[in-house]
């Protein structure tokens, strides 16, 4: 199998071989692309300073139509965030392979705090968590109703309220505590939209951190990579989640796949900037169409991440001109077909008992729950696992997740919904959705975890 993978790797020109000597001067996190500055700046935070960007009228009109129908009042607040780049927050994911260690102190002294520390996550038992959600929903606190498809009534949808303290005293010792999965992944966030400076590449030195939308880490947490796993990152460029996977654990193999040559070059640079050469035998770059893995590598992987090509609401809203906006809207209509094919391929590529995480950075239910629903219909041996108590509840202090009360039984087995023209939007059944809101501007991010039965 190793041989086969190696052969399938592109016969790479030297600039694509990520273990080639460090020569790149551009970074993976986009910010560096914009900041052409050379040399690392002093670690000084600044306001995001995003210049005023104008939304593309055609895309905004399309979003208004679709999302006010799907999300109701929730859309007005998400819209306000998406239209206001200076309000966007940035996460700082630390690089555990960098030998420079002063960064945590600097972040803490500047008001950043650890997103994934276990310390500030309330320790709730499963029963308590259920009680908290139900009782808060009954009270109607911090809720926003939003209409969706014909299957859902507007009042069915609410924001998951913040859980900031344990409402019922100490959890019962005998019950499993509600905690984030253990991970060596470290990310620091600030309550305000302050951005840490991006780092230029320094030859021979790994970057210390990666700037990102912290919601991007949720699919990686959901993937639960363990040491020794064989992992496929099916749509990998520019490589933020691949780097996060390598922060979480040491897989036996991480295959990073990206068919687009320019984006693959960017991916290669990211890997080169964040991973030491000693990991070269474990991390590989592949150039296939992701739809082919289901046949070429059937049943090989323990874990597959499908961070699918999607509408990317944040960036598409700010399309540079009307023509680009129109083109993207045309592409948007075709995406669910590609996404469905990629997810099918991923499920075929995973071994029985293995898991696939499907994620997008759009709010569109057609690219989210409708894709998962369609694929589940083809794979009776696959089932969605709830991410509610594992991810949404522990992190509700930081992210605005939406929920549908009454469908949140923590022990409920999700079942595929009957095929329908209208998406069902059962985010709690088919996945979880982070909706940007003022003060919690992370997202959009949809994620769903599917296990292939053994």
- Residues of each annotated binding site: 235-241, 258, 289, 307
289 touches ligand SAM (CB under 6 A): yes
301: Cβ contacts below 8 Å, ≥ 6 apart: 230, 231, 232, 255, 349, 350, 351, 354
Tell me how far apart the terminal alpha carbons of the chain are, to the nearest angstrom: 21
| Span from 107-115, 181-189, 239-247, 415-423 in contact with ligand SAM (CB under 6 A) | 239-247
Q: Does residue 283 belong to the site contacting ligand SAM (CB under 6 A)?
A: no
Per CB under 6 A, the segment of 89-97, 228-236, 329-337, 372-380 that binds ligand SAM is: 228-236
Residues in the chain: 454
Count of CB atoms within 10 A of residue 46's CB? 10
Instruction: Look up 369 and say whether it is catalytic.
Output: no
Near ligand SAM in 409-438, by CB under 6 A: none
Quick check: 234 binds ligand SAM (CB under 6 A)?
yes
Catalytic position from the list 361, 369, 417, 425: 361
State which of positions 113-172 bind ligand SAM (CB under 6 A).
Answer: none
Residue 202: partners with Cβ closer than 8 Å, 6 or more residues away: 39, 40
The C-alpha atoms of residue 83 and residue 72 are separated, in whole angstroms, by 17
φ, ψ of residue 81 in degrees (nearest 5)? -70, -50
User: Is 379 within 8 Å of 348 (Cβ atoms)?
Assistant: no
Q: Are 343 and 279 in contact (CB under 8 A)?
A: no
Residue nearest to ligand SAM (CB): 290
Between 30 and 55, whose beta carbon lies closer to ligand SAM? 30
CB atoms within 10 A of CB 204: 7
Q: How far is the CB of 138 from ligand SAM (least distance, A)?
A: 38
Shortest reach from residue 439's CB to ligand SAM, in Å: 25
Distance CA 136, CA 293 (A): 44
Give the residue with the Cβ less far from ligand SAM, 121 or 246. 246
Q: Please select the residue that binds ligand SAM; options are 189, 214, 237, 357, rule is CB under 6 A.
A: 237
| β-strand partners of 380 | none
CB of 447 to ligand SAM, least distance (A): 12
Q: Which residues are annotated as a binding site for S-adenosyl-L-methionine?
A: 235-241, 258, 289, 307
Active-site positions read: 361
Residues that bind ligand SAM (CB under 6 A): 234-241, 257-260, 263, 289-291, 307, 309, 342
């Amino acid at each position: 199998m190793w041989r086969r993978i190696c052969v399938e790797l592109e016969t790479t020109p030297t600039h694509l071989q990520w273990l080639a000597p460090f020569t790149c001067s551009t970074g993976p996190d986009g910010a560096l692309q914009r900041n052409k500055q050379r040399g690392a700046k002093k670690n000084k935070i600044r306001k995001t300073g995003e210049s005023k960007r104008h939304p593309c009228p055609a895309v905004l009109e399309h979003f208004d139509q679709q999302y006010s129908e799907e999300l109701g009042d929730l859309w007005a607040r998400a819209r306000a965030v998406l239209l206001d780049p200076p309000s966007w927050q940035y996460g700082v994911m630390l690089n555990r392979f960098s030998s420079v260690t002063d960064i945590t102190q600097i972040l803490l002294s500047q008001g950043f705090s650890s997103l994934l520390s276990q310390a500030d996550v309330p320790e709730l038992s499963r029963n308590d968590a259920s009680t908290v959600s139900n009782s808060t929903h009954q009270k109607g606190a911090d809720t926003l109703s939003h209409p969706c498809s014909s299957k859902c009534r507007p009042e069915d949808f609410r924001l998951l309220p913040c859980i900031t303290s344990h409402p019922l005293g100490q959890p019962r010792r005998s019950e499993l505590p509600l905690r984030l999965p253990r991970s060596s992944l470290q990310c620091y966030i600030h309550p305000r939209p302050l951005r840490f400076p991006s780092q230029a590449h320094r030859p021979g030195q790994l970057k210390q951190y990666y700037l990102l939308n912290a919601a991007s880490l949720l699919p990686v947490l959901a993937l639960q990579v363990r040491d020794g796993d064989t992992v496929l990152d099916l749509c990998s460029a520019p490589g933020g989640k691949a780097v996060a996977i390598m922060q979480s654990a040491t897989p036996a193999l991480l295959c990073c796949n990206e068919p687009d040559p320019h984006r693959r070059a960017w991916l290669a640079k990211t890997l080169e900037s964040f991973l030491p050469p000693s990991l070269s035998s474990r991390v590989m770059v592949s150039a296939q169409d992701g739809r082919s893995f289901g046949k070429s590598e059937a049943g090989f992987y323990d874990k597959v991440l499908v961070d699918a090509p999607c509408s990317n609401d944040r960036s598409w809203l700010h399309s540079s001109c009307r023509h680009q906006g129109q083109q993207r809207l045309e592409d948007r209509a075709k995406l669910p077909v590609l996404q469905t094919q990629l997810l099918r391929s991923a499920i075929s590529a995973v071994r029985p008992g293995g898991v696939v995480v499907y994620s997008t950075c759009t709010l569109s239910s057609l690219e989210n729950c409708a894709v998962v629903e369609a694929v589940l219909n083809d794979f009776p041996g696959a089932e969605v696992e709830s991410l509610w108590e594992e991810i949404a509840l522990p992190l509700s202090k930081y992210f605005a997740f939406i929920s549908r009360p009454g469908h949140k039984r923590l022990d409920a087995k999700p079942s595929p919904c009957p095929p329908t023209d209208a998406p069902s939007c059962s985010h709690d059944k088919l996945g979880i959705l982070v909706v940007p809101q003022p003060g919690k501007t992370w997202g959009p991010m949809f994620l769903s975890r599917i296990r292939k039965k053994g």
